[in-house]
Amino acid sequence: MLQATADGATQWYPRGEDVSLTDELLMVLIDRLGALYAVESSQPLQPGGKRQRPPPAFPRPVRELDRARGRAEQQYLEELDDDVQAAQQRWATQREEVSA
């Protein structure tokens, strides 16, 4: 499955039905081994040398739980924005009452 990223590029994600628990655990293992390799290959660190960064995480399928969390986060941010706008309006009316 390909999904568009914010910059318009596409990134591959496995479909949820194609990933079993064993596959999920293998993805975690691959990520951990990549991080371990980055740490080990940076030892000993030479003066002025840079540490290696671990490789990017193996792509995970986008699951319905991830979508639900995204919707909940978006709803929370919209409610927070509404609260801020209401507070700004109250503050503006209070300033008008004080200055009048």
> Tens of pLDDT along 63-79?
788 889 999 999 999 99
Which runs of E-coded beta strand occur in the chain?
Answer: 2-4, 10-12
Q: How many helices, marked H, and strands, marked E, lie in the chain?
A: 2, 2
Cα 55 to Cα 53: distance, rounded to the nearest angstrom: 6
Element (H, E) at 68: helix 64-99
Domain boundaries, the chain: 1-62, 63-100
Is pTM beyond 0.85? Reply is no
Residues of the chain below pLDDT 70? 1-11
